[in-house]
Amino acid sequence: MTRPLVIFLSGNGWRERYQAVMLGVTAASLGDAVTVVLAFEPLRAFMSGRFEEGAPATVHEARVPPLAVTLEEARRELGLRVVACETSVRLAGLDPEVVRAKLDGLEPLPSLWRLAQQGRALAF
């Protein structure tokens, strides 16, 4: 039985988003239960369609697919979950109900931490 992987993503840059998405998708493709927790700028970028912002010019020649598209495919095909903590949503200046409609849920931080304790956690 696989252990859950919780990826906390709050870093401002594209590189942090890339690492979180690619590691999450890789783990999910190998059968792990993956939850990506968006906070602050990554959450705002995801909600506003700016998740690719800041990508290096080499992204096309490296054949890196769009991160938001990759996340959506992993959600649909691999069961990867994308969530946020309601407090982080409010700190990001976003409406929780609007965010809830686009993510797989809003979860309290203690629940996310308990999930991470059952498996592994990464933070970017």
Domain residues of the chain, as ranges? 5-123
Cα–Cα distance measured from residue 88 to residue 35, given in angstroms and rounded to the nearest whole number: 16
d(CA 27, CA 29) in angstroms, rounded, equals 5
Condensed to tens digits (0 to 9), the pLDDT of residues 23-64 reads: 999 999 999 999 999 999 999 999 999 999 999 999 999 999
pLDDT tens digit sequence for 97-114: 999 999 999 999 999 999
What pLDDT score was predicted for residue 1? Answer: 58
pLDDT confidence of 2, banded at 50, 70, 90? confident
Output DSSP code: residue 12.
Answer: S
Q: Report whether CATH 3.40.1260.10 matches the domain 5-123.
A: yes
CA distances from 2 to 83, 87, 95, 121 (A): 20, 29, 34, 14
Q: Which residues share a beta bridge with 122? A: 7
Q: CA-CA distance, 20 to 107, in Å (whole number)?
A: 19
